[in-house]
Amino acid sequence: MQRLLALLVLVSAAACGGAARATAPGHVAPWLRADRQRCLIPRDLRENMEAMAQRCAEAFVRDNGYTEAPAEDSTRWVHELDDDVAWPRVLARRSGTLAEHASSVQCSMRECVVLFQVHRPMLTCAYRAVRMTQVFTRIRMTPGGIRDIRCHERQI
């Protein structure tokens, strides 16, 4: 009986599939790949809108050089409003400035906003926002940042 139960658990786990992929598939149509502000991660219909928005925003932040990971695919790089220098300098300035994983996600009928903690020694409670439409297009970094002026009151 225990063997049958173990086999049933194993089969049901395999049938449910593994974790959702966080990277874009290699066989994306050229017209989709041409849109740098479109999330290329396949939608997992088992997850809610916030989970998908978080995966898309984390890929956007990683692909555009904001984390410690190098930004390798130049077809995914998106300029911010104040980026007026060459890409090597833009990527050098961005490198390591944001956390790899999102801190918070909120979606409405029109858009999703995903917050990432800023990695600066003097800013312990500062965040940057990644915005996108509810269908995970027009992904962009919001200019400026968000700073919680009451953060010091919550720290131990």
What does the pLDDT profile of the chain (156 residues) look like in tens digits?
444 444 343 334 334 444 444 556 667 888 888 999 999 999 999 999 999 999 999 999 999 999 999 999 999 999 998 888 899 999 999 999 999 999 999 999 999 999 999 987 776 788 999 999 999 999 999 988 877 766 666 544
pLDDT at 149: 60
pLDDT at 68: 95
Residue boundaries of the structural domains of the chain:
20-154
Dihedral sign, Cα of residue 86, residue 144, residue 63, residue 123: positive
pLDDT at 41: 95
Nearest to 107 by CA among 78, 81, 76, 129: 129
pLDDT at 109: 94
C-alpha pair distances (Å), 27 with each of 19, 31, 59, 116: 20, 12, 17, 29
